[in-house]
Amino acid sequence: MIESSSSSLVVDESHTNTNNDNDNDNDDSTIIHSSVPTEYSAHDIGGSPLSSSTFLVHKPVDVLCSKAEESVLGPGGGPPGPPRQTIFELAQSVGFPHDYNLVGRLDAATSGLILFTNNLRLLSAINHPIRPHWNFKEEMLPFKEKEYVAIMRPGKSVSRHWRKFGDESFDPVKLEEEMSKPFSFDKQGSQFAVGQSRVEFVRRFEDSKFSYGRPDVKGWCVEVRVILSEGKHHQIRRMARNCDYHVINLTRVRIAGFIEIETLPCPGTCRWLTVDEELRLIEGLRVYKSKKLDGDDNQAMEEDEDHDGDALGVDNESEG
């Protein structure tokens, strides 16, 4: 069983027509905490004491994890749609730095928690994939974990939504087993291997929006929780397709093993990590200025930094 809060997320279809004006409606209420945390005095991290080095963002759907707007074709390959807000613009709009390093990525259709930091050692430790040549300790693994809640519909794509999905055809245990299996996929000529994942069935429910007025279509949806320690490009969506499902809503609800979405529940908001949170993350990932980090291991971390599949990922959602 996955240890996590038991609350469930409901499907929100409003993300299909995101209005960026809504991101600014909260004004000052969007700033959960913008004051600079007290300076760390007990730890020498990266050569000097830190203050205000990491903050958390609750990314809304349709906000891009990029610095430049990416053109998006309209329906049928038509002209690009209206510009969309980037995560850097979102942070700046609510009074947070826009020049910090983004820790990983979430694709436009995925919402949830993501970090910014100016601590390059912490950035490297989180992004770094787990490799045999890295001096990785088993107790560090929980701090690499990210947890997602996915709402899925039967069929590998939306175009197959007419498929019947009766009580007699659903086995939650089989779904967990099938979805968590290792697999591989090809992306731009490169092969990526995906290891065993942790998947927990949460619930199955009917949603009238997906009945489309047909009495023989129940509009079944399935909610699962997925924990990844190292993700690959669109991994969770690929996992769902492997089981003949498609994801209609995906939210990252926990990062670094202990930072929960309940601490920042509203999309479009930001907050600084507390001193205790950041020190817990730094200590958990062994981010200290030492010979171990300054030697070959640190060089390996830098060399492999851009190979992490989701960078909290490579093109993460892109994990999702």
CA angle 50, 32, 17 (to 5 degrees): 120
Taking CA atoms, 298 is separated from 105, 126, 197, 255, 291, in Å, by 23, 13, 27, 23, 9
| Secondary structure (DSSP) of 185-216 | EEETTEEEEE---EEEEEEEEE-GGGTTT-TT
Model pLDDT, residue 139: 82
Residue with tokens 């000097």: 48
Residues in the chain: 320
Question: What pLDDT is attached to residue 165?
Answer: 56
H runs (alpha helix) in the chain: 87-93, 120-127, 172-179, 235-242, 275-284, 291-294, 296-304
- Which residue, 16, 3, 5, is CA-closest to 209? 16
Would you state the pLDDT for residue 157?
62
Determine whether 36 is exposed, middle or buried from the number of CB atoms within 10 Å of its CB (0-12, 13-18, 19+).
Answer: exposed
- Residue 86 contacts by C-beta under 8 Å, 6 or more apart in sequence? 63, 64, 65, 66, 67, 68, 69
d(CA 5, CA 259): 12
Span 125-167, pLDDT tens digits: 888 776 554 566 778 888 989 999 999 998 866 544 445 455 5
Tokens of 187: 């992306």
pLDDT at 250: 98
Helix (H, G, I), strand (E, B) or coil at 84: coil
The confidence score (pLDDT) of residue 9 equals: 39
**Strand pairing report for 190-194 and 101-103:** unpaired
d(CA 259, CA 116): 14
Instruction: Give the DSSP H or E segment for 116.
Output: strand 110-117
pTM equals 0.74
Give residues with Cβ within 8 angstroms of 184, minimum separation 6. Answer: 191, 192, 193, 194
Taking 70 as the pLDDT cut, the residues of the chain under it are 1-52, 69-79, 130-136, 156-168, 288-320
Q: Distances from the Cα of 290 to the Cαs of 48, 152, 223, 277, 285, in angstroms? A: 12, 46, 44, 22, 13
Q: Going from the N-terminus, what domains does the chain have, and what CATH number goes with each?
A: 34-142+261-320 (3.30.70.580), 146-255 (3.30.70.1560)
